[in-house]
Amino acid sequence: MTQTVIDDLKKSQILELLEQGKRVDGRALDEPRRLTVEINAIPKANGSARVRLGDTEAICGVKIQPDRPFPDMGDKGIFICTAELLPLSHPSVETGPPGPDVIELARVVDRGVRESHMVDVSQLVIQENKSVVGVFADIVVVDYDGNLFDACSYAATAAILNSKLPKWEMQDDIPSLVDGAETALPTTTIPVSITMAKIGNHIVVDPNSDEWASMDSRITITTDSDGNIVALQKGGKDGFTLDEIVKCGELSVKVGAQIRETLKRTGEDGQ
């Protein structure tokens, strides 16, 4: 998203409001936007979720299929998460290979889910060193209003929580599908990412697109169900002090717990 004169004007207004402890859309500084989750939006996928975070919308579909294991990980299944920004999501998005922003988005979302060990890959082995189950969580962003990191992360988490794992058995050296033996995809925890923007000396949770265009730096922290920090990424053109980092860590645990309740409920309704 390119910077314009309007963005400069918006930034001074956003800063002015923050000095009074207010945000452009009336939220508290530590208040995320409304999160709505529609699960199983894509019945042909093994699990799916359509997530709206304010006006940012992302859809995640999970496909589960047999795959060859990585050479040094023959006793573990495969988990891969991707994210893509579709041209229909914003006028400035063009078709073509992803730029650095989108590559970072995909890698940060993947790292959050992966490092939390949410998907229990040790239970996804069909035959050791030969055939394992691959879980592919592909996310597309369809509407842009800032903070794609969290919208994509929630979409992936909700889709994985509601995924059904088909069963395969080896027959004549190839995995073959066992009908009617689906189980819930084994998960160990619910990772939740919280992205915070630093604007001036203020830290706001879940920045919308105006705040995103005005921020000096940002930090995305993913926590697990036990309140541990499992992944983190700093971005933007300014830095953070140690105190600010510690404060962001505390915020991510606190706000993350609220979001986790919302995501957990979708899992309970869906099973």
CB of 125 to other proteins, least distance (A): 14
Nearer Cβ to other proteins (25/250): 250
Give Cα 116 distance to the centre of its chain.
12
CB 158 within 8 A of CB 261: no
Name which of residues 29 to 88 contact other proteins (CB under 8 A). 72-73, 76
Is residue 235 within the footprint of other proteins (CB under 8 A)? yes
**CB of 62 or CB of 230, closer to other proteins:** 230
Rounded Cα distance between 141 and 90, Å, is 10
The reply on whether position 116 binds other proteins by CB under 8 A is yes
Q: Under the criterion CB under 8 A, does residue 184 sit at the interface with other proteins?
A: no
Measured from the CB atom, the residue of 43 and 100 that comes closer to other proteins is 100
CB of 73 to other proteins, least distance (A): 7
Report d(CA 21, CA 81) in Å as an integer.
37
Minimum CB separation of residue 53 from other proteins in Å reads: 23
Among 229, 258, 262, 270, which residue interacts with other proteins (rule: CB under 8 A)? 229
Q: At what angle do helices 242-270 and 148-161 cross, to 10 degrees?
A: 40
Nearest in space to 38 (alpha carbons), one of 214, 265, 199, 243:
265
**How far, in Å, CA of 260 to CA of 266, rounded?**
10
Check: CB of residue 83 under 8 Å from CB of residue 130: no
The answer to the question of residue 6 lying near other proteins (CB under 8 A) is: no
| Residue 72 dihedral angles phi and psi, to the nearest 5° | -95, 10
* Distance of closest approach, residue 40 Cβ to other proteins, in angstroms: 30
User: In 120-231, which ranges are continuous DSSP H helix?
Assistant: 148-161, 209-214
H-assigned helices in 20-147: 100-115
Q: Of the two residues 166 and 249, which places its CB atom closer to other proteins in the complex? A: 249
231 binds other proteins per the rule CB under 8 A? yes
Q: Is 94 in the site for other proteins (CB under 8 A)?
A: no
Residues of the shown chain interacting with other proteins in the complex, contacts defined by CB under 8 A: 72-73, 76, 100-101, 103-104, 106-107, 111, 114-117, 217, 219, 224, 226-242, 245-246, 249-250, 253
